[in-house]
């Protein structure tokens, strides 16, 4: 059984939960110790105790630890990528790519540790100098979802440690393995006891214990809107910093003048790769009249050729849905879309394969209207819907008419429309002739409206959340 990590000590608990492969439910990856409220509070106490010393370490120390983690993850990317695909279900090449990205994130923040800067200004009072410096926030609680089991933990853990914070990390129940790999790499890299703590368990117990503990100074969360609200309430109650990422209902606008092949590639990749289980997935395909029928035909043809199956099989392009609960949710939304008048144009059926997994054929629902449930709620599966629009203006209005605003894409060969869309789309990330999913690690990530709350994640913008600003005045 894999233990928790509390105050630098690996700790097995009485209860453990098996980590099951969604491509093959007879494959148990490992059993992971479960924390309760006590263990969670011990981890928070350890992080609070370790903060004073860690926050004053030389940036070189933090750089070296993060670099070692980056190197270890990169050198083991095939093995870790396979573990990732086994526990989450994305295909092996995606698992390895995500692992590589996690290594790059650690490497990026290793460098950032050496670049923490401040400002010096003359005061408005003669002779007085003003320094503006950045300091770590304290104990950071990290709560992550299952869909990017190594990249999301990496892009929260690496900046937290880089800027001198200590961490209590709780990954999603379905993907304990990748966080364990990071914890092990951090231990080997020499992270001091208590600086990084890992606890497993249900959100309602372990996550909630983090929310309830006043010694947690900041929480960074990625997950559902409902849980995000709970996190926010707890952060207001305890007057602490928060950073929330809560999903999307991302539009991909396809205009008459789009290159059809590019548009279809963007739609297929954005909607169905990683089994559509990305918060940046294209779920609303908003297509103008003149290209609509050709676009739908070409998508269906492409979808018919997609290979759905075991994530580790070399020909597989689309892996399984993460578990039975998610599969039921996907099927329920497909059913609702059908009942509300959508036309099930492709997919929608569960596939039986050689192994017992949760295989859903990528699903395209056409003839939908903007207010149908399928266009309002996040499905989080390989399901996309098509909305017909009269022209660019209507497509833009429909794309913006949503409470979410994470990522938005447009396929067009017109500079005029591309530029207008970049300025007027109400999303945090805009993609022109690219899938809505798939972002760089060195630039900000985050959305508008109900997708995100707080400052941006990733790249040099991460400093906003993981530090606080101090202004010092010195008289001569
Ligand atoms: P998803 O639909 O992606 O599973 P959730 O919001 O349920 O989204 O889960 C995201 C993360 O939030 C997971 O790590 C989960 O365990 C955690 N979580 C769920 N409920 C709570 C809660 N009440 N308090 C804190 N964390 C929670």
Per-residue pLDDT tens digits for 399-449? 999 999 999 999 999 999 999 999 999 999 999 999 999 999 999 999 999
Nearest atom of ligand 1 to the alpha carbon of 210:
25
Task: State which fold the 250-432 domain adopts.
Answer: Aldehyde Dehydrogenase; Chain A, domain 2 (3.40.309)
Q: Which residues contact 172 (CB under 8 A, 6 or more apart)?
A: 144, 145, 146, 149, 203, 223
Q: Ligand 1 mean position to 264 CA, how many Å? A: 33
Question: Average pLDDT for residues 361-367, to the nearest whole number?
Answer: 98
Task: Give the residue whose CA is nearest to atom 21 of ligand 1.
Answer: 203
Question: Average pLDDT for residues 298-307, to the nearest whole number?
Answer: 98
Instruction: Dump pLDDT digits (tens) for 26-66.
Output: 999 999 999 999 999 999 999 999 999 999 999 999 999 99
What's the mean per-residue pLDDT of the chain?
98
Ligand 1 mutation target, pool 227, 240, 248, 328, most atoms within 8 A of CB: 227
Nearest atom of ligand 1 to the alpha carbon of 147:
3
For residue 220, report the phi and psi dihedrals to the nearest 5 degrees.
-115, 125
DSSP label of 450: T
Q: Is 145 in the pocket of ligand 1 (CB under 6 A)?
A: yes
Q: Ligand 1 mean position to 163 CA, how many Å? A: 26
Q: Is 206 in the pocket of ligand 1 (CB under 6 A)?
A: no
Q: Is 381 in the pocket of ligand 1 (CB under 6 A)?
A: no
Q: Is 230 in the pocket of ligand 1 (CB under 6 A)?
A: yes
Nearest atom of ligand 1 to the alpha carbon of 146:
3
Q: Specify the DSSP element, H or E, that contains 439.
A: none
Q: Is 224 in the pocket of ligand 1 (CB under 6 A)?
A: yes
Q: Is the pLDDT of residue 198 over 90?
A: yes
Q: Is 220 in the pocket of ligand 1 (CB under 6 A)?
A: no
**Positions marked catalytic:** 245, 279
Residues in the chain: 476
- What are the C-alpha distances in Å from 129 to residues 49, 118, 119, 121, 176? 33, 13, 11, 6, 49
The rounded distance, in Å, linking the Cα atoms of 213 and 18 is 28
| CB-based burial label for 358 (10 Å; 0-12, 13-18, 19+) | buried
Confidence band, pLDDT 50/70/90 cuts, at residue 476: confident
Ligand 1 mutation target, pool 142, 145, 176, most atoms within 8 A of CB: 145
Residue percentage of the chain with pLDDT more than 90: 99
Rounded-to-10 torsion of CA 169, 170, 171, 174: 160
Q: Ligand 1 mean position to 254 CA, how many Å? A: 34
Do 4-246+451-474 and 250-432 agree at the fold level? no
Nearest atom of ligand 1 to the alpha carbon of 227:
6
Q: Is 88 in the pocket of ligand 1 (CB under 6 A)?
A: no
DSSP string of 314-372?
Answer: TT-SB---S-HHHHHHHHHHHHHHHHTT-EEEE---EEP-SS---EE--EEEEEE-TTS
The rounded distance, in Å, linking the Cα atoms of 395 and 389 is 5
SS3 sequence, 267-312? Answer: HHHHHHHHHHCCCCCEEEEEEEHHHHHHHHHHHHHHHHCCCECCCC
The rounded distance, in Å, linking the Cα atoms of 200 and 3 is 9
The CA-based diameter of the chain, rounded to the nearest angstrom, is 79
Q: Is 211 in the pocket of ligand 1 (CB under 6 A)?
A: yes
Q: Ligand 1 mean position to 210 CA, how many Å? A: 12
Q: Which CATH superfamily does the domain covering 4-246+451-474 fall into? A: Aldehyde Dehydrogenase; Chain A, domain 1 (3.40.605.10)
Q: Ligand 1 mean position to 247 CA, how many Å? A: 13
Question: Average pLDDT for residues 353-375, to the nearest whole number?
Answer: 97
Q: Is 144 in the pocket of ligand 1 (CB under 6 A)?
A: yes
Task: Give the residue whose CA is nearest to atom 9 of ligand 1.
Answer: 223
Task: Give the residue whose CA is nearest to atom 14 of ligand 1.
Answer: 172
Confidence band, pLDDT 50/70/90 cuts, at residue 353: confident
Confidence band, pLDDT 50/70/90 cuts, at residue 389: very high
Ligand 1 mutation target, pool 223, 278, 378, most atoms within 8 A of CB: 223
The ranges assigned to domains in the chain are 4-246+451-474, 250-432
């Amino acid at each position: 059984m894999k233990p928790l990590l509390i105050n630098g000590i690996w700790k097995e608990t009485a209860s453990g939960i098996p980590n099951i492969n969604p491509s093959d439910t007879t494959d148990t990856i490992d059993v992971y110790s479960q924390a309760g409220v006590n263990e969670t509070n011990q981890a928070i106490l350890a992080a609070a105790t370790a903060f004073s010393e860690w926050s004053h370490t030389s940036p070189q120390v933090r750089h070296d630890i993060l670099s070692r983690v980056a190197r270890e993850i990169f050198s083991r990317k095939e093995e870790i990528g396979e573990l990732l695909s086994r526990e989450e279900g994305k295909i092996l090449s995606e698992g390895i790519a995500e692992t590589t990205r996690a290594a790059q994130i650690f490497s990026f923040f290793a460098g950032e540790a050496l670049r923490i800067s401040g400002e010096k200004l003359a005061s408005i009072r003669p002779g007085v100098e003003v320094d503006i410096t950045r300091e770590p926030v304290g104990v950071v609680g990290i709560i992550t979802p299952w869909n990017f089991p190594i990249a999301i933990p990496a892009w929260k853990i690496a900046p937290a440690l880089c800027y001198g914070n200590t961490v209590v990390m709780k990954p999603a129940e379905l993907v304990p393995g990748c966080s364990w790999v990071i914890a092990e790499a951090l231990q080997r890299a020499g992270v001091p006891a208590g600086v990084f703590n890992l606890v497993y368990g249900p959100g309602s117990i372990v996550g909630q214990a983090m929310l309830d503990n006043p010694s947690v100074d900041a929480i960074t969360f990625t997950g559902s809107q409902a849980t995000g609200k709970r996190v926010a309430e707890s952060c207001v109650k305890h007057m602490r910093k928060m950073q929330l990422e809560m999903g999307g209902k991302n539009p991909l606008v396809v205009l008459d003048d789009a290159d059809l092949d590019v548009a279809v590639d963007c739609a297929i990749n954005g909607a169905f790769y990683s089994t559509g289980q990305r918060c940046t997935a294209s779920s609303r395909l908003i297509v103008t009249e003149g290209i609509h029928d050709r676009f739908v035909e070409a998508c269906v043809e492409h979808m018919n050729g997609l290979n759905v199956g075991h994530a580790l099989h070399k020909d597989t392009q689309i892996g399984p849905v993460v578990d039975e609960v998610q599969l039921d949710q996907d099927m329920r939304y497909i059913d609702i879309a059908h009942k509300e008048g959508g036309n099930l144009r492709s997919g929608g059926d569960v596939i039986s394969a050689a192994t017992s997994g949760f295989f859903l054929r990528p699903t395209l629902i056409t003839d939908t209207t903007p207010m149908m449930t399928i266009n309002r709620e996040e499905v989080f599966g390989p399901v996309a819907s098509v909305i017909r629009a009269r022209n660019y203006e209507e497509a833009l209005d429909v794309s913006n008419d949503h409470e979410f605003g994470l990522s938005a894409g447009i396929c067009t060969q017109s500079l005029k429309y591309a530029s207008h869309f970049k300025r007027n789309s109400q999303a945090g990330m805009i993609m022109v002739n690219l899938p809505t999913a798939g972002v760089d690690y060195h630039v900000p990530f985050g959305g508008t409206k109900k997708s995100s709350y707080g400052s941006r994640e990733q790249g040099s913008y991460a400093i906003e959340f993981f530090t606080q600003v101090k202004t010092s005045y010195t008289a001569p």
